[in-house]
Structure 1
């Protein structure tokens, strides 16, 4: 079992057994189990180096990153009834595809995995059973396991690297109480974060581009507060 699956299973056990903790709508801790859509706005914003002349010759002029749906665990601590801090745990996998140029449609980077380490400070509006909230905070996108596609290896690329980067996230959502500490949860986050994509050959750097990611992250699921 991988680390994410272990965390998800642990959170589920904590949230749904109820034998060790009684649910409490005003408790200090809330755990959420969510289904999350990651909708990436992936575009090249700057060419930092083009030794292979892939951009100069029109082979690559822009890229796209596919959307994904993943499970997510969120853990939240309430300092007051209206003020909390939240962190999320998920891993989302993507491919980077050339979207324009003579190589349009070719997958350039296979299976990059992103860990969006995010902390948000949240303010909850006291409106009874329906508790809307707003939040903002920093994020660190950790990029792991990226590798050049078979097609790009055929061009002489031996290795790729997407840089891990700091950014910011804002969020809005609502928890709708359904009793015994449980709530239905809807959440939307907008991220602003970039990354550098570097393609290496045996002799050096072939191409380096700056990419805008800026995903929408939309979640829905169940929460348990105690």
Structure 2
């Protein structure tokens, strides 16, 4: 083959390889979000006496990091992480103490428009919450230490470029715990929070 054709062939091959490499995206996406937690705060009458829904867990805004892995352009798994968060508790409007919770959540998502600038998605999965540092009713009250429940998710990514994106996300978690006083169960608290988050994503 003449030298100039060989050079042209090599250049064309390198250009094609460069185009393919540019088109391929890493399967990893990391996001950092600010998330507002809004608990449902549903509970039965304490000890079967009096009105329901007397236990109130505080709202708060927390930092959150999630890591997503894309099995295909449309299907991804997302692990949602934070550090133990402290909530105050009121019973009948009066301060009753506090507790911490750590709620790692794993969802499986479907992304509807992965090649578009705006990519909406839906997700469903499981939430495991570990409750610790419970200080209720001057030590007389306690909470069940573990909660496992369903997690539902909806959101979208707005792509700024090939790597960076802005994310909006809403999750509903099933988080429930038994409330004990002096070792006896007095009611079940359905925290069941809605989490609304806004953040940035980076595709490696």
TM-score (norm 1): 0.73
Task: Decide whether the 8 Å contact of 1:139 with 1:166 is kept in 2.
Answer: yes
Match of 2:62 among 61, 70, 73: 70
Q: 3-state DSSP class of the match of 2:104?
A: strand
For 1:69 and 1:108, the matched residues in 2 are separated by 21
Bigger CA radius of gyration: 2
Deviation at 1:64, TM superposition (A): 1.0
Deviation at 1:146, TM superposition (A): 1.2
Q: 3-state DSSP class of the match of 1:175?
A: strand
Match of 1:109 among 94, 97, 103: 97
| Aligned equivalent of 1:27 | 26
Q: Aligned residue pairs: how many?
A: 181
For 1:25 and 1:177, the matched residues in 2 are separated by 16
Unaligned runs of 5+ in 1: 1-22, 99-103
Task: Decide whether the 8 Å contact of 2:89 with 2:97 is kept in 1.
Answer: yes
Task: Decide whether the 8 Å contact of 1:45 with 1:212 is kept in 2.
Answer: no
For 1:34 and 1:63, the matched residues in 2 are separated by 28
Query: Are 1:224 and 2:195 matched, yes or no?
Result: no
Match of 1:141 among 105, 129, 135: 129
Deviation at 1:93, TM superposition (A): 1.9
1:171-190 equivalence runs, <5 A: 171-190=153-172
For 2:178 and 2:108, the matched residues in 1 are separated by 28
For 2:77 and 2:67, the matched residues in 1 are separated by 9
Match of 1:162 among 144, 163, 180: 144
Task: Decide whether the 8 Å contact of 1:26 with 1:81 is kept in 2.
Answer: no
For 1:63 and 1:25, the matched residues in 2 are separated by 51
TM-score (norm 2): 0.80
Distance 1:106 1:206, change over 3 A: farther
For 1:24 and 1:30, the matched residues in 2 are separated by 16
